[in-house]
Chain A
Amino acid sequence: MLSFRRVLAGPLRQDDLGGCALISAFWLHNSAGRVMLNPLRLSPLSSSRRTVYALSATRCGLIQRKMTENGAASRRGKVLTVDTMNPCVKKVEYAVRGPIVQRAMQLEKELKEGAKKPFTEVIKANIGDAHAMGQRPITFFRQVLALCSCPELLDDPAFPEDAKSRARRILQSCGGGSIGAYSASQGIDCVRQDVARYIERRDGGIPSDPDNVFLTTGASDGIVTILKLLACGEGRTRTGVMISIPQYPLYSAALAELDAVQINYYLNEESCWSLDTSELRRSLAAARPHCNPRALCIINPGNPTGYCLTRQCIEDVIRFAAEERLFLLADEVYQDNVYADGCQFHSFKKVLFEMGPEYSNTVELVSFHSTSKCYMGECGFRGGYMEVINMDPAVKEQLAKLVSVRLCPPVPGQALMALVVNPPQPGEPSHTTFLKERNATLSVLAEKAKLTEQILNTVPGITCNPVQGAMYSFPKITIPERAVKEAKEKGMVPDMLYCMKLLEETGICLVPGSGFRTARWNLPLQNDHLTNDRQAEDLAGEATVPQTRALTARLHDRSRTNGRELPCLRAALGVHRGARLSRHGGRQSESARAPPNLVSCHTFGLHVKTLKAPNQRSASLTNQGLYCSPRARSAVLGPIPSPGCGDDVSPRAFIRTPGQSVSLQYGDFYQRKNGA
């Protein structure tokens, strides 16, 4: 904010041009691509606006006095306008909940009001929201929370004893024995102790101090809090924070709001989105002259890339952080979501401590975890924690003060965190069920990860890396020149156009890949630059998958656009979109039968929208106007048996069936394949 003000307050000085210079550095390096550097620094908020504002303020003052004298109060101007609000807020763009999501909600509303659409429900694949997609909660967790909420139920014999004893323990640690009481702002003591013990178990006995554990309102609260703590300085001393590209947009949004400098380092798509320390060095060196790089954020397993860091890579990162004196933020919310063979989750803390005291006594690290992902998927509870390691005690005091401003994290979320870190133990009545539920969810996710990759790669124009972990795939989509042109005309990023069309026509809500890169699309699109892969990446958009009729048609149209390969889009695929019950259709029973979270990929633009009734399915599967390559078809139909509602039914047939309210999608499909 400081330098921002400086920019506003006077003529730009050399110091203030850091952003521009840095961007050009990136341009040089990447020959066109990736830009990222906080584009906001370039935003044309020049001194003139400030001057105008200052002038108008003075003028207002005069008018105001006059009006007050006259007793008039008819001035219509707002106190708060876009020009007079916090300028940093203007720089925030949160892609996961951006315009596409707004539109999706609007569509949902229209559907509810009976509007006719080519789909009956909106599928929100923009965010890792497992329960929305049909994943079932872990019974034990919900039992304990229900008991905490309504302690009268402690007499109910239907609840298992271990759930009751867990509930009693949690309630005892709440003020007045109620989860409605505020807790300490750092979180309930006994929950923090449980978290510390969990970390010790996870990391093979490396000690964890409950005083270093802060419970948070989901991991995002912790991340923003730490970034807020670190943000300071102005001009060249402004705090710089290194984030991966593609990134989870929370980071860029928070950095923009805090007026810190976003320093991008690029993950390597060619090797499965891996992280390379030479890239870290490059990016840091480029940023050093312009800001004060103080922190490095790593998401492991990666969001949206799904990449799992190897132990060696983590060591390299830690060594790098130690050498360059960087504060490490390890976003480890997907720690249980690792699917690929040979991949394993290693916590930064464990690796740090195994590297010996030289590192474990010095490197500052905060690690984040949450109740929203993994096998629980309990996003709505907003539970999470962070563990701070090697933080200066004086700074920790400041942190404690900062978290106290928001009073406390939601207590039910804290209670849930307590259960996640301390699930039923062998010998306890709920242990078997818990393990069964947990493993089922994780194995289904793993399978879907594989399926997603496999299916996406059968579609011409889409390439997708193996999904090693997390809950997303992030494929690259080639879109035609005409679409790019149209996007340009509409002032949109091509991937935004893609996603918007996808949403309008199929009801599937995705996040454009550009949202995972920078806060803003600021690269002029040049069709003939396509050769550079990195550039391609910059042009990318996340699209999860299914292509719209228009888009697929357009892809098909390639011959008409000179057959040229055009800017690529990344597509991200929500891995765990489950067989989803249409809320409005009320077909409870079918969804209840479907195993949790079965479907993931409302993949490819293969929806058949022409079905009138289920029994007409096979007959009407004529891919009307839809794109479907023979290869895709055989790939899909080959390994996966038809779902049984027709002979020649491709999976797309399950995606949208407007004639009925429940679309079974892959859930059904999967179930059969697995002989379930």
Chain B
Amino acid sequence: MGDEGISSPGKRTVGTAFWERGTDDVSPGREVNPRVKDIQVSRREALLGQAAQIRHGLRQGSNKPYKELIDICWGDAHSAGMKPITFVRQVLAACIHPELLLHGDRLPADARHRAQRLLGECDGGSIGSYTATSGLPHVKRSVAEFITRRDGGVRSLPENISICSGSQRALMLVLNLLAQGEGVSQTGVLTPVPTCNTAAMALAEAGVVTVPYQLCEEQRWALQTDELCRVLRASRGHCDPRVLYVANPGNPTGHVQSRESIEEVIRLAAEERLFLLVNEVDQDSVHAEGCEFVSYRKVLFEMGPPFSDMVELVSVHSIARGFMGEGGMRAGYMEILNMDPAVKSWLVEALMCRDINTPVLGQIALDIMVDPPRPGDPSHATYTEEVRSRRETLIGNVGRVQEVLDALPGVSCQPVMGGNYVFPRLHLPTAAVDQAQSVGVEADLLYCKLLLEEEGLCVGPGCEFGQREGTHHIRLHVMVPTEALDDALGRLKRFHLRFMRTFS
């Protein structure tokens, strides 16, 4: 959505790229959608390339001080070695290959029963058939019931649920719907800094203006409404800021909003006419003591009218996070509240149709996530134990990481309340910053590259998520097996001390 006809400066404008000029023999496919060009390549790409090389080198027997590479850069629990939930996979296997249902002993009775039930919901009794665009009606009902339970009885309706291929896809769809206008009327989306870079890519892809607002690091990365008001004022006249994107719990910051904070945000959204787009994918991973997850919709409904029938809210959740970690299955849902019915029908009937439907296996995994084995079911004990042990691992890991980081010089880390990440700040020596500048990379990216090279540990550079000018961070994914984490922390510690020595 570049404004090629208008020569305003800045990221929004994309002129003709170098490869499109200078020859008459331009091949037809060479000119590329300016919106695609706007998408920023993840800083991680550079790291991933380097990691691939190192892995290759290690296989070839190259001489490194470590035997294998540890990757805690990407928030992928299964890649990092967490095991899937047994019940989920049993049901999936039975749905894929219903012959497994014929022999009583191979799978527990509740898994078989669930598979049969879900297969009955699929056309032709096969997960190979298409489903409705917004998902299997049964799964939508399960999701609505789950939300109702979670929010202490605030009723959720299946017709407000749309199942889509992951929370990222949900964001892309809603942003696409909201994208319009040009110049001062181009849709602006208030986006937290730091934020997960996948959200930033979705914003660029949709062709909306990103209006960054800073989370306050000093106050545990709190979202401050003053800051929202400030950026709103500042952005009017440059674009039409009408969407507020919030991640709660935050990624990568790990902050969790209190009920009061959410109320303030909703009030602001009502006053300033903002569409609320809330990413709640880490809702299962709130782990700080005295801290609990409160959903936006719950607060919205409890605030009552006029807010509850006025503020437009889309909340997304996914099977990729928490104890499930099934990112590869690509499924999630969005709950759409107070959206103009006409717009909603466009969203489902026009935009989502393009995806045809969410992969059915993902929908099934989603059904299990929102409706797990119940007390008395044969799989209940195993399931509860697996979830408990994952939670324990997470809490233990967060504590361990904070302990190690607190002891390191030049590192400060806000207490983490939720999510699967820790996002410490690095107070890097000037020499390091200068050197990074001289080679043209951000200082934390340099740090990450050296860490990867020297210790075989891959972490996420803060520059990928956005950060206040002059500050540097790294992101560590902590939903990993404890042994792997201990190994990683050992490497980080060794490297950090060496790094600080070298540059001071």
Residues of A within 8 A of B (CB): 1-2, 5-6, 9, 53-54, 57, 60-61, 64, 67-68, 73-82, 84-87, 89-90, 92-94, 96-98, 102, 105, 109, 124, 127, 129-135, 137, 139, 142-143, 145-147, 149-150, 152-153, 156, 158, 174-176, 178-183, 217-218, 220-221, 224, 228-234, 250, 253-254, 257-258, 294-295, 325-327, 362, 364, 376-382, 390-392, 394-395, 398, 401-402, 404-413, 578, 580-581, 583, 591
Instruction: Indicate if the CB atoms of A408 and B340 lie closer than 8 Å.
Output: no
Chain A residues, Cβ within 8 Å of B137: 105, 109
B92, CB-defined interface residue at 8 Å: yes
Instruction: Indicate if the CB atoms of A158 and B103 lie closer than 8 Å.
Output: yes
How many angstroms from the CA of A623 to the CA of B30 in the assembled complex? 61
B53, CB-defined interface residue at 8 Å: no
Chain B residues, Cβ within 8 Å of A181: 76, 78-79, 327-328
Q: Which listed residue (B125, B172, B273) contacts A75, Cβ 8 A?
A: B273
Chain A residues, Cβ within 8 Å of B343: 78, 80-82, 85
Of all chain A residues, the one with the shortest Cβ separation from B131 is: A380
Of all chain A residues, the one with the shortest Cβ separation from B39 is: A401
Of all chain A residues, the one with the shortest Cβ separation from B361 is: A412
Chain A residues, Cβ within 8 Å of B201: 404-405
The stretch that binds A, out of B1-9, B379-387, B389-397, is: B1-9
Q: Which listed residue (B84, B272, B354) contacts A94, Cβ 8 A?
A: B354
- B172-198: contact bitstring with A at CB < 8 Å (1 yes, 0 no)? 100011111110010000000000001
* Shortest CB distance A366–B (Å): 9
Selected A-B contacts with CB under 8 Å, 5 pairs: A149-B96, A180-B327, A221-B355, A381-B360, A381-B361
How many angstroms from the CA of A153 to the CA of B111 in the assembled complex? 14
Instruction: Indicate if the CB atoms of B96 and A146 lie closer than 8 Å.
Output: yes
Of all chain B residues, the one with the shortest Cβ separation from A578 is: B124
Instruction: Indicate if the CB atoms of A228 and B33 lie closer than 8 Å.
Output: yes
How many angstroms from the CA of A217 to the CA of B330 in the assembled complex? 10
How many angstroms from the CA of A325 to the CA of B354 in the assembled complex? 28
* Shortest CB distance B78–A (Å): 4
Q: Which listed residue (B31, B132, B133, B353) contacts A232, Cβ 8 A?
A: B31
Instruction: Indicate if the CB atoms of B37 and A398 lie closer than 8 Å.
Output: yes
How many angstroms from the CA of A86 to the CA of B187 in the assembled complex? 9
Chain B residues, Cβ within 8 Å of A406: 165-166, 168-169, 172
- B85-104: contact bitstring with A at CB < 8 Å (1 yes, 0 no)? 01001101110110110010
Chain B residues, Cβ within 8 Å of A64: 271-273
Chain B residues, Cβ within 8 Å of A96: 353
Chain B residues, Cβ within 8 Å of A86: 176-180
Known contacts A54-B185, A146-B100; decide if A581 and B92 are in contact (CB<8 Å).
no
Instruction: Indicate if the CB atoms of A5 and B79 lie closer than 8 Å.
Output: no
Of all chain A residues, the one with the shortest Cβ separation from B203 is: A405
Chain A residues, Cβ within 8 Å of B465: none
Known contacts A327-B29, A398-B32; decide if A149 and B359 are in contact (CB<8 Å).
no
How many angstroms from the CA of A30 to the CA of B319 in the assembled complex? 52
Of all chain B residues, the one with the shortest Cβ separation from A412 is: B361
Instruction: Indicate if the CB atoms of A75 and B310 lie closer than 8 Å.
Output: yes
Residues of chain B from 91 to 147 with CB closer than 8 A to chain A in the complex: 92-94, 96-97, 99-100, 103, 106, 120, 122-133, 137
Chain B residues, Cβ within 8 Å of A591: 125
Residues of chain B from 292 to 325 with CB closer than 8 A to chain A in the complex: 306-307, 310, 312, 320, 324-325
Chain B residues, Cβ within 8 Å of A217: 165, 330, 355, 359
Instruction: Indicate if the CB atoms of A89 and B128 lie closer than 8 Å.
Output: no
Instruction: Indicate if the CB atoms of A67 and B168 lie closer than 8 Å.
Output: no
Instruction: Indicate if the CB atoms of A410 and B165 lie closer than 8 Å.
Output: yes
Instruction: Indicate if the CB atoms of B42 and A404 lie closer than 8 Å.
Output: yes
* Shortest CB distance A234–B (Å): 6
Residues of B within 8 A of A (CB): 1-5, 17, 19, 27-37, 39, 41-42, 74, 76, 78-84, 86, 89-90, 92-94, 96-97, 99-100, 103, 106, 120, 122-133, 137, 165-166, 168-169, 172, 176-182, 185, 198, 201-202, 205, 207, 236, 240, 242-243, 267, 270-275, 306-307, 310, 312, 320, 324-330, 338-340, 342-343, 346-347, 349-351, 353-362
Q: Which listed residue (B169, B240, B325) contacts A57, Cβ 8 A?
A: B240
Chain B residues, Cβ within 8 Å of A135: 124
Instruction: Indicate if the CB atoms of B346 and A379 lie closer than 8 Å.
Output: no
Known contacts A80-B339, A183-B328; decide if A405 and B202 are in contact (CB<8 Å).
yes
Q: Which listed residue (A68, A150, A182, A580) contacts B89, Cβ 8 A?
A: A150
Chain A residues, Cβ within 8 Å of B42: 404
Instruction: Indicate if the CB atoms of A150 and B357 lie closer than 8 Å.
Output: no
How many angstroms from the CA of A89 to the CA of B173 in the assembled complex? 11
Known contacts A89-B351, A325-B28, A405-B205; decide if A76 and B356 are in contact (CB<8 Å).
no
Q: Which listed residue (A97, A98, A146, A410) contacts B359, Cβ 8 A?
A: A410
Instruction: Indicate if the CB atoms of A182 and B128 lie closer than 8 Å.
Output: no
Of all chain B residues, the one with the shortest Cβ separation from A127 is: B130
Of all chain B residues, the one with the shortest Cβ separation from A383 is: B359
Instruction: Indicate if the CB atoms of B326 and A137 lie closer than 8 Å.
Output: no
Chain B residues, Cβ within 8 Å of A382: 165, 330, 356-359
Instruction: Indicate if the CB atoms of B4 and A2 lie closer than 8 Å.
Output: yes
* Shortest CB distance B319–A (Å): 8
Known contacts A79-B242, A364-B27, A408-B330; decide if A137 and B185 are in contact (CB<8 Å).
no
How many angstroms from the CA of A135 to the CA of B307 in the assembled complex? 50
Instruction: Indicate if the CB atoms of B329 and A410 lie closer than 8 Å.
Output: yes
Of all chain A residues, the one with the shortest Cβ separation from B167 is: A407
Chain B residues, Cβ within 8 Å of A145: 96-97
Instruction: Indicate if the CB atoms of A142 and B96 lie closer than 8 Å.
Output: yes
Instruction: Indicate if the CB atoms of A73 and B306 lie closer than 8 Å.
Output: yes
How many angstroms from the CA of A50 to the CA of B147 in the assembled complex? 39
Q: Which listed residue (A176, A326, A378) contacts B80, Cβ 8 A?
A: A176
Interface centre among B19, B130, B328, B342 (most CB of A within 10 A): B328
Instruction: Indicate if the CB atoms of B97 and A174 lie closer than 8 Å.
Output: no
How many angstroms from the CA of A140 to the CA of B76 in the assembled complex? 29
Chain A residues, Cβ within 8 Å of B166: 406-407
Of all chain A residues, the one with the shortest Cβ separation from B175 is: A86
Known contacts A132-B123, A257-B351; decide if A156 and B346 are in contact (CB<8 Å).
no
* Shortest CB distance A330–B (Å): 14
Instruction: Indicate if the CB atoms of A581 and B328 lie closer than 8 Å.
Output: no
* Shortest CB distance A35–B (Å): 21
Q: Which listed residue (A60, A109, A176, A409) contacts B330, Cβ 8 A?
A: A409
- A-B pairs, top 5 by smallest CB distance, nearest first, are A175-B79, A132-B123, A411-B328, A380-B360, A150-B93
Of all chain B residues, the one with the shortest Cβ separation from A296 is: B28
Interface centre among B78, B81, B131, B177 (most CB of A within 10 A): B78
Instruction: Indicate if the CB atoms of B127 and A380 lie closer than 8 Å.
Output: yes
Instruction: Indicate if the CB atoms of B29 and A294 lie closer than 8 Å.
Output: yes
Q: Which listed residue (B123, B324, B349) contacts A102, Cβ 8 A?
A: B349
How many angstroms from the CA of A214 to the CA of B34 in the assembled complex? 21
Known contacts A80-B340, A381-B361, A410-B329; decide if A85 and B124 are in contact (CB<8 Å).
no
Chain B residues, Cβ within 8 Å of A402: 36, 39, 205
Instruction: Indicate if the CB atoms of A76 and B326 lie closer than 8 Å.
Output: no
Q: Which listed residue (A326, A379, A398, A411) contacts B130, Cβ 8 A?
A: A379
Chain B residues, Cβ within 8 Å of A1: 1, 207
Instruction: Indicate if the CB atoms of B312 and A79 lie closer than 8 Å.
Output: yes
Chain A residues, Cβ within 8 Å of B328: 174-175, 178-183, 408, 410-412
* Shortest CB distance B66–A (Å): 19
How many angstroms from the CA of A581 to the CA of B243 in the assembled complex? 47
How many angstroms from the CA of A156 to the CA of B93 in the assembled complex? 13
How many angstroms from the CA of A257 to the CA of B35 in the assembled complex? 13
How many angstroms from the CA of A599 to the CA of B30 in the assembled complex? 47
Q: A76-B306, A134-B124, A217-B330 are in contact. List 5 more A-B contacts (CB 8 A).
A: A80-B242, A81-B342, A230-B32, A380-B126, A404-B201
Instruction: Indicate if the CB atoms of A2 and B355 lie closer than 8 Å.
Output: no
* Shortest CB distance A489–B (Å): 24
Instruction: Indicate if the CB atoms of A146 and B5 lie closer than 8 Å.
Output: no
Known contacts A73-B270, A109-B137, A413-B359; decide if A294 and B28 are in contact (CB<8 Å).
yes
Instruction: Indicate if the CB atoms of B79 and A224 lie closer than 8 Å.
Output: no
* Shortest CB distance B40–A (Å): 8
